[in-house]
Chain A
């Protein structure tokens, strides 16, 4: 044999060995998982504890204070309760992520401000908030919010018909009559127009260098078109106004104090960490970039928006993803204040009524894992999309 043949054959052997090792490892892990599951099932049986997932379709029988989908204690199943809890988790986490990002960016940029007072205030915010445990902040907000709000019959009434008391914030619910699909359609048409406008504006700028105020036109389209439609066609919009009942506010859209407190705590807490990530990202952009932009005659706000932030995003995205995951997982502290999130409803009520701790905890952990992995994947995609090609 020639030396190359020997080399290639030994490389092949090594590769085969590698593959065999990996297959073996996978088999061992799979075996362990199977043995653990089998052992758990047998132990449950020996301890006379019900097991399996048969409970999923049994009637739940308990009430939930906030439900985004139809749910009734008499007819809905434990499975339905799971979805109610999951949606409540996603609602508070989703809203929290949006608000925390906005607040975090504002604080992070404020901390870099040349204005001494603004930057110190932002610094104080960050140090104060991120050094106090979230649970304490949550309890503080919940108790502060509840204590400060008036009782039912002393409700604060806002112009427009919204009511605020210690049962929550109640806003009028718009009720479109039969023509509501058309209103939705005009909204879709407006959205499509905005996309077209943006493409046209970009091409125009590339060709002529002239800019179009896309943002304002887009806002005008999105708000104006449906409103114009409503007025022109004389669609009667009714509002379901909240009204004081014997015990509670009746009607309207209800925002629970538990939701408000949790959202407030998660937003304020996470924003402090996001602010630091933003500050680090902005500081990582070489000062020469700003100077170059100034030399080209860009205004400071435009420099920030077009030159600094896009480059800073490369540094910001990984820690930002981490904060999004933290916020989502921290939303499970809802259990401390009675907000019906996944943990409170499913790993709380359902677990206790069915007594099936192993199944319920396993499902709950799997759900948080999936939410986190999906969030990470989306953020990674965004990261690739905005990555600046290295030269």
Chain B
């Protein structure tokens, strides 16, 4: 199976690069490399509906994919100049470390150990998530605390795998975990009743449920057992590139806060509001600080839309997933998404 080979190959490539490349062979200037290449290389999920998956025509869509499209819009003014590399949970960091991808935008939890020991940096929390459990309705389970002795299918190399063991242990419950290399295999095993429950981030549960033989025969339990702040990640040591990814995200949040969207962005160029004028590059030189043109955020909003539009289109009410904004609502609406000031 290609992913097994791919994982070993990626790890091996990293090992080879580290062993044989002269020091500082890892280019510092990712932006320059991306511009010279004429293409952004984006590490994406590949199988998670709503977050990152190619549609039947081969066009990549999803909430995480939109961030890569937004970066491409900011750099090239063209959302199609992105090459997507589908990654599993297990090989994603290796792909980033080895330089195979420029940015990892693949529902990845920002944790301290990943931030401090993997040689990667996280740019900004794009989605506040938490781990949940899915079970078949026929089991008549209403709470995760009733899962004592249950078999749980889980994807390996995830925070999920660790939280699962923690949760069962701290609640004095017996766990029979069955660990798979990819979410695909874990979900398939759950669907064939190999496990009583499937666990992953709750956003993922809603997405994966759609792929089951009979989605309506399965429910997501109410417990959220962990904090999963999902964030795009870049290689550590290229601060300018990290800034760029971070501000692409905040530009989309700010646009939603200011009511700037894909439809009205051209009209908004004439706005008197100084915040909007700075965001859209009518005033100030903010794009230059990122190594881009000053209309960088205008391009993002014009081509991809603001944070709310991307959310609703991919995973919210405009999608089959119908995930509520919840923690991901703007701070002005009781959520946690807070646009840092462009000034």
**Chain A positions near chain B (C-beta within 8 angstroms):** 36-37, 39-40, 42-44, 46-50, 61-65, 73-74, 135, 139, 143, 146-147, 151, 166-167, 245-248, 250, 257-258, 333, 335-338, 340, 344, 347-349, 351-355, 357-358, 360-362
Question: Which segment, of B156-164, B220-228, B292-300, B306-314, faces chain A?
Answer: B156-164
* Inter-chain contact B179/A146, CB cutoff 8 Å: no
Which partner residue on chain A sits nearest B186 by CB separation? A338
Q: Mark B1-39, 1 if CB is under 8 A from A, else 0.
A: 100100010011011011111111110000000000000
Distance in Å: Cβ of B154 to nearest Cβ of chain A? 8
Which residues from A are CB-within-8-Å of B149?
Answer: 245-248, 250
Which residues from B are CB-within-8-Å of A250?
Answer: 149
Complex formed: what's the CA distance from A36 to B17 in Å? Answer: 10
Among A36, A49, A65, chain B packs the most CB atoms within 10 A around the CB of A49
* Inter-chain contact A358/B15, CB cutoff 8 Å: yes
* Inter-chain contact B114/A47, CB cutoff 8 Å: no
Distance in Å: Cβ of B73 to nearest Cβ of chain A? 29
* Inter-chain contact A336/B185, CB cutoff 8 Å: yes
Partner of A338 from the list B21, B164, B178, B193 (CB cut-off 8 Å) is B178
Given known contacts A36-B19, A63-B165, A63-B177, what 13 new A-B pairs fall within 8 Å (CB)? A39-B19, A47-B235, A48-B119, A65-B178, A151-B193, A166-B192, A250-B149, A258-B178, A336-B185, A338-B185, A348-B179, A354-B117, A358-B15
Which residues from B are CB-within-8-Å of A246?
Answer: 148-150
Given the contacts A50-B117, A248-B150, A355-B118, A63 and B93 also touching, CB distance less than 8 Å:
no
Given the contacts A349-B157, A357-B11, A73 and B97 also touching, CB distance less than 8 Å:
no
Distance in Å: Cβ of A207 to nearest Cβ of chain B? 60
Given the contacts A65-B177, A166-B193, A167-B151, A49 and B19 also touching, CB distance less than 8 Å:
no
Complex formed: what's the CA distance from A357 to B169 in Å? Answer: 28
* Inter-chain contact B194/A348, CB cutoff 8 Å: no
Which residues from A are CB-within-8-Å of B235?
Answer: 47
Given the contacts A49-B119, A358-B14, A352 and B162 also touching, CB distance less than 8 Å:
no
* Inter-chain contact B18/A44, CB cutoff 8 Å: yes
A-B contact pairs, 12 of them (CB 8 A): A39-B19, A47-B119, A63-B175, A65-B178, A167-B151, A245-B149, A247-B147, A335-B181, A336-B185, A340-B179, A355-B113, A355-B114
Complex formed: what's the CA distance from A358 to B20 in Å? Answer: 12
**Those 3 A-B pairs whose CB atoms lie nearest each other, nearest first:** A352-B157, A49-B119, A73-B165
Complex formed: what's the CA distance from A357 to B93 in Å? Answer: 10
Complex formed: what's the CA distance from A73 to B177 in Å? Answer: 11
Which residues from B are CB-within-8-Å of A63?
Answer: 161, 164-165, 168, 175, 177, 179
Given the contacts A167-B151, A355-B114, A61 and B162 also touching, CB distance less than 8 Å:
yes
Complex formed: what's the CA distance from A354 to B114 in Å? Answer: 8
Which residues from A are CB-within-8-Å of B169?
Answer: 73-74
Given the contacts A65-B179, A146-B189, A40 and B15 also touching, CB distance less than 8 Å:
yes
* Inter-chain contact B23/A42, CB cutoff 8 Å: yes
**Chain B positions near chain A (C-beta within 8 angstroms):** 1, 4, 8, 11-12, 14-15, 17-26, 89-90, 93-94, 97, 113-114, 117-119, 139, 147-151, 156-158, 161-162, 164-166, 168-169, 175-181, 185-186, 189, 192-194, 196, 235-237
Distance in Å: Cβ of B114 to nearest Cβ of chain A? 7
Which residues from B are CB-within-8-Å of A347?
Answer: 8, 11
Which residues from A are CB-within-8-Å of B22?
Answer: 39
Which residues from A are CB-within-8-Å of B166?
Answer: 61, 73
Partner of A61 from the list B11, B114, B165 (CB cut-off 8 Å) is B165
* Inter-chain contact B161/A48, CB cutoff 8 Å: no
Complex formed: what's the CA distance from A182 to B256 in Å? Answer: 78
Distance in Å: Cβ of A345 to nearest Cβ of chain B? 8
* Inter-chain contact A349/B236, CB cutoff 8 Å: no
Which residues from A are CB-within-8-Å of B158?
Answer: 352
Distance in Å: Cβ of A351 to nearest Cβ of chain B? 7
Which residues from A are CB-within-8-Å of B180?
Answer: 337-338
* Inter-chain contact A357/B14, CB cutoff 8 Å: yes
Partner of B156 from the list A50, A146, A352 (CB cut-off 8 Å) is A352
Partner of B165 from the list A43, A62, A360 (CB cut-off 8 Å) is A62
Partner of A39 from the list B4, B23, B175, B186 (CB cut-off 8 Å) is B23
* Inter-chain contact A247/B26, CB cutoff 8 Å: no
* Inter-chain contact B178/A166, CB cutoff 8 Å: no
Complex formed: what's the CA distance from A340 to B181 in Å? Answer: 11
Complex formed: what's the CA distance from A43 to B118 in Å? Answer: 13
Among A65, A143, A250, A357, chain B packs the most CB atoms within 10 A around the CB of A357
Which residues from A are CB-within-8-Å of B11?
Answer: 347, 351, 357, 360-361
Which partner residue on chain A sits nearest B115 by CB separation? A48
Complex formed: what's the CA distance from A348 to B139 in Å? Answer: 31
Distance in Å: Cβ of A11 to nearest Cβ of chain B? 41
Which residues from B are CB-within-8-Å of A340?
Answer: 179
Partner of B179 from the list A44, A338, A358, A362 (CB cut-off 8 Å) is A338
Which residues from A are CB-within-8-Å of B148?
Answer: 246-247
